[in-house]
Amino acid sequence: MLNPLLSDDPNTIASSLKQAIRLDKNSPTKKTAREGMRYYDHENDILKNRIFYIDDDNELREDKYASNTKIPHGFFPEIVDQKTQVLLSNPLTFDCEDDSLKQELETYYDEDFQVFLQDTVTSASQKGYEYIFARTTAEDRLTFQIADSLTVFPVYDDTNQLKRIVRNIDKDIVKNGRKLIIHLAEVWDDKQVWFFKAEGTKNYQLNTDITLNPRPHVVAVRDDGSLLRRDYGVIPFYRYKNNAKETNDLKPIKALIDDYDIMNAFLSNNLQDFTEAIYVVKGYDGDDLSKLRQNIRAKKTVGVDADGGVEIQTVNIPVEGRKTKMEIDKANIYKFGMAFDSTQIGDGNITNVVIKSRYSLLNMKVNKTEVRIRALLKWINQMVVADINRRKNTAYDPADVSFEFTRELMVNETDIAANKKTAAETKQVMIATILEAAPQLPDDEILRLICEQFDLDFDEIKDELEEEPYTQGLASGTDREVINDATVGQVATGTGEVDPETVQKD
């Protein structure tokens, strides 16, 4: 049966939009995405923590007077930002052989584009996936922006091929003095887009406020008042996946973060609730317990009968146990979150090898992200080059453009300097050894060994050394010192033959 959203009849599409949007908003995928966004904004589940007790009637009741510390810890935003900044903190660079194409690309891949890439990786890490939307600006130039995946869903045919994209937006307006929610929906395919609208709980209808509906992807008014209509030839949406299963970075560590928050919160609760000792009184003949507590605080004494007494009981708070559990949770959060723990102390031997090992898990995760970013850049670059070809009437090839990432990692500069010094000293020893052995080796072999130490081209250096004496000799006039006897004879006679009488012997 054909999906109603694949119909070309606007009324058929409109009749199925309300239910389709409702199902998408309540899907488990969108619920997980919203959860990741909450944790990135420091809104952990600990903020919903409540304390209960069983009363005298055996009823479960909430204790609203007990200490209920709620401290959400920001492990998740730190882990997400680490991945994003290691890969994209330095500007993305691109290269192509054609200088004119490179100049055009610079107007597309600028600072705003760098921000767009960072926002894409950050958002997809929270939600599991994100949508990228291509649109044309008023200056007739292609640009890209994030289309919130919470408001976008795909429409596939029976062969699981993507055919359309639905995007919905809710707006609050005031109508007749009352607040009203307006639901807007867009249905995109590779040629055109339909616009629909619904007020409150009503069903969607074709939006009559838009004159050209459906309309091509790009509509512009020419100077003469006529309309320019064109499409991109593809659906202008790209689904960027955080990983193959489209899970967010919170999933493997959420339970650990929640446990850490609970351990920390209840440690604080215990310290607040048990700061005072518990007094066990026997044979007290006073008015009530409130007066007893007042007497203990003010007079430091209490009266009892002959058989009475006061015992002071204290509670041992499991501080060390909770601290140990928090340390274990923290280590596992960074381990399973594949992140770098900046609080690690170690044994003081902070060499670049040690630093690299601590970054190993983060690098593995960034490697996976880079592959997916490159796939996104391939799609973007194809549309950008096509846009340049349209605007400039050129025939550039997207395959001629390459991208390069420069990762930002912490290093030990002292360790690098020490390694360079060691390498220089080693090279110096090698050169000295070669020169000591020079009398026993041919000149070409000595030259080859020296070239290897300085990464020089042996054949090129050899040719330059053979040409240099001849050139310098002619310039200085000292032919006898720099030119062999046969050459001197040729120069003196002006012929290709050697005159024996003009040959000078040393």
Average per-residue pLDDT for the chain: 81
356 and 406 housed in the same domain: yes
End-to-end C-alpha distance for the chain, whole angstroms: 104
Residue 437 belongs to a domain: yes
Residue 381 belongs to a domain: yes
Quote the DSSP letter at residue 26.
T
pLDDT digits (tens, 9 = 90+) for 43-53: 999 999 888 87
| Residue 184 banded pLDDT, cuts 50, 70, 90 | very high
- Boundary residue ending a domain (368, 384, 411): 411
Amino acid at 59: E
Q: How much is the pLDDT for 377?
A: 95
Residue 372 belongs to a domain: yes
CA distance 185 to 19: 13
- How many other CB atoms are found less than 10 A from the CB of residue 132? 21
Average pLDDT of 474-494? 44
387 and 418 housed in the same domain: no
428 and 401 housed in the same domain: no
pLDDT digits (tens, 9 = 90+) for 232-242: 989 999 999 99
The 3-class SS string of 186-220 reads EEECCCEEEEEEEECCCCCEECCCCCCCCEECEEE
Residue 282 belongs to a domain: yes
424 and 467 housed in the same domain: yes
434 and 493 housed in the same domain: yes
152, 167 in Cβ contact below 8 A?
yes
CA distance 218 to 195: 14
420 and 498 housed in the same domain: yes
Residue 309 belongs to a domain: yes
CA distance 57 to 54: 8
Q: What is the largest CA-CA distance in the chain?
A: 145
Of residues 196 and 180, more confidently modeled = 196
Q: How much is the pLDDT for 436?
A: 79
CA distance 372 to 368: 7
Of residues 87 and 423, more confidently modeled = 87
Q: Which of 242, 193, 191 is nearest to 80 (CA)?
A: 242
Domain residues for 298? 276-314
Domain count, the chain: 3
- Boundary residue ending a domain (263, 291, 314): 314
Tell me the C-alpha to C-alpha distance, in Å, between residue 209 and each of 179, 180, 195, 196: 20, 17, 9, 10
Of residues 412 and 15, more confidently modeled = 15
Residue 234 belongs to a domain: no
Of residues 287 and 44, more confidently modeled = 44
Q: How much is the pLDDT for 127?
A: 96
Of residues 448 and 383, more confidently modeled = 383
Amino acid at 135: R
pLDDT over 60 at 483, yes or no: no
CA distance 381 to 398: 6
376 and 423 housed in the same domain: no
pLDDT over 60 at 398, yes or no: yes
Residue 432 belongs to a domain: yes
- Boundary residue ending a domain (411, 427, 455): 411
472 and 425 housed in the same domain: yes
Q: Which of 121, 75, 434, 128 is nearest to 254 (CA)?
A: 75
202, 184 in Cβ contact below 8 A?
no
466 and 490 housed in the same domain: yes
pLDDT digits (tens, 9 = 90+) for 363-373: 899 999 999 99
| Residue keyed to tokens 């030259």 | 447
407 and 417 housed in the same domain: no
pLDDT digits (tens, 9 = 90+) for 68-98: 888 999 999 999 999 999 999 888 899 998 8
Residue 161 belongs to a domain: no
* Percentage of the chain lying above the pLDDT 70 cut: 77
| Residue keyed to tokens 């899907």 | 27
Q: Which of 331, 324, 332, 316 is nearest to 264 (CA)?
A: 324
